[in-house]
Amino acid sequence: MTYNKIKNTRVLVTGGAGFIGSNLCEDLLANHNQVVCLDNFATGHFHNIEHLMTNPGFKLIVGDIRNLSDCHKACEGIDVVFHEAALGSVPRSINDPITTNDVNIGGFLNMLVASRDAGVGRFIYAASSSTYGDSEKLPKIEEVIGMPLSPYAVTKYVNELYAHVFALNYGITTIGLRYFNVYGRRQDPHGAYAAVIPLFVKKLMSHESPVINGDGTNSRDFTYIDNVLQMNHLAAVTDEPAAYNQVFNTAVGERNNLLQLTTLLKQYLTDFDQAIAEVPILHGSNRPGDIPHSHASVDKARNLLGYQPTHTLKDGLKDAVQWYWNNL
């Protein structure tokens, strides 16, 4: 599928050495953009962008969004900002709410100020499905949210409020993308806060039992990285005024529970190693702060941005499993 992409533009990707950020940097370079990457390598990795370092269109700035001068430096001459830098993970935020707040709110505000001061034309930022909080309405539509269930969710909601206020008071065009459980190549399977898909893949490849939190009926709208790249491009190029200063679900629009997810992972990994079929799945307690069910409506993105997701969970998992098998 072809869609409109941003091209021949000077862009900044914060958190550009992370999972989503590095994929975005790579894709933006492939479309002849000049890309500045700002990262402090707290959760990102140099190996994610090492292959980009020889590209004349790529520039790395090692810096921290909590430092306003780093943000100002990174925004010099930039037309579009893709703000991906954040401390993710609900459990991390529960264990350390202060650092999560400093990065996700303080750093976000710094980037908005620096973007305003540099005359940036458009500010596209990573919002989160965690903003829906305790709202039980399914599918999730952008205008109906509940109360947040974790410090991380609070920070991502505050980002949306700040983006709205900066659009209102300073005229900067902002577009928020509420990511729903993004997965794919380069997502880190290591560490205490690894996301479920890379963590489960790593365990199964080692013939260790993954542990599902709860009975496995909790469901998610798992979103492959290529769908996320499409949404970032569409947000960058849209000339539809009704899309400006809005938030959009960035998802597939389908719902799969964790039992279905592990079944598919075992099925695809067994193509490489038959013994994985015999690895048992274990169950633990539900995690505090987790939303039980997450299922997005992508109608708003379809109607205003022309979004058409290209990868269902089955499509994306096949690609992701292949990548992990070759790279872990």
Give the sheet arrangement for strand 58-62, strand by strand: 58-62, 34-39, 10-14, 80-83, 122-128, 173-179, 246-250
Neighbours of 272 (CB within 10 A): 13
The contacts of residue 245 (CB under 8 Å, 6+ apart) are: 163, 164, 167, 168, 173, 174, 175
Q: Is 152 a catalytic residue?
A: yes
Is 19 within 8 Å of 48 (Cβ atoms)? yes
**Dihedral of the alpha carbons of 304, 87, 139, 161, in degrees to the nearest 10:** -60
Catalytic residue among 152, 162, 183, 324: 152
Nearest CA among 267, 249, 253, 269 for reference residue 220: 253
State the Cα–Cα distance between residues 8 and 1, nearest whole angstrom. 21
Beta bridge partners of 296: 140
- R_g (Cα) of the chain, nearest Å: 19
Neighbours of 129 (CB within 10 A): 24
Peptide bond into 210 cis (omega under 30): no
Q: Is 266 helix (H, G, I), strand (E, B) or coil?
A: helix
Provide the annotated active-site residues.
152
